[in-house]
Amino acid sequence: MKPSPAKLQLVFEDQRKQIVMLWHLCHVSRVPRAQFYFLFKGDPSDQIYMEVELRRLTWLEQHLADLGNASPALLGDDPASFVSSSIRALKQEREYLAKRVSIKLSAEEREMLYLKWNVPPEGKGKPKRRLRLGNKLWTDPLEMPHIKESAEIVAKLVGFGDSGENASKEMFELNFFSPL
146 vs 148: CA distance, rounded Å: 6
Q: What is the pLDDT of residue 67?
A: 74
Please choose, from the candidates 59, 40, 56, 23, the residue with its C-alpha nearest in 3D space to the C-alpha of residue 137: 23
- Say if residues 26 and 57 touch (Cβ distance below 8 Å): yes
By three-state DSSP, how is residue 114 classified?
Answer: helix
Q: What is the pLDDT of residue 163?
A: 41
Provide CB contacts within 8 A for 67, sequence distance 6+: 75, 79, 80, 82
Q: What is the pLDDT of residue 168?
A: 63
Q: What is the pLDDT of residue 3?
A: 81
pLDDT, one tens digit per residue, over 35-84 is: 999 999 999 889 999 999 999 999 999 988 877 755 454 445 454 677 78
The model carries a pTM of: 0.82
Number of residues that make up the chain: 180
Q: What is the pLDDT of residue 65?
A: 82
Within the chain, which residues score under 50 in pLDDT?
71, 73-75, 77, 79, 162-165, 174-180
- Say if residues 134 and 81 touch (Cβ distance below 8 Å): no
Q: What is the pLDDT of residue 178?
A: 46
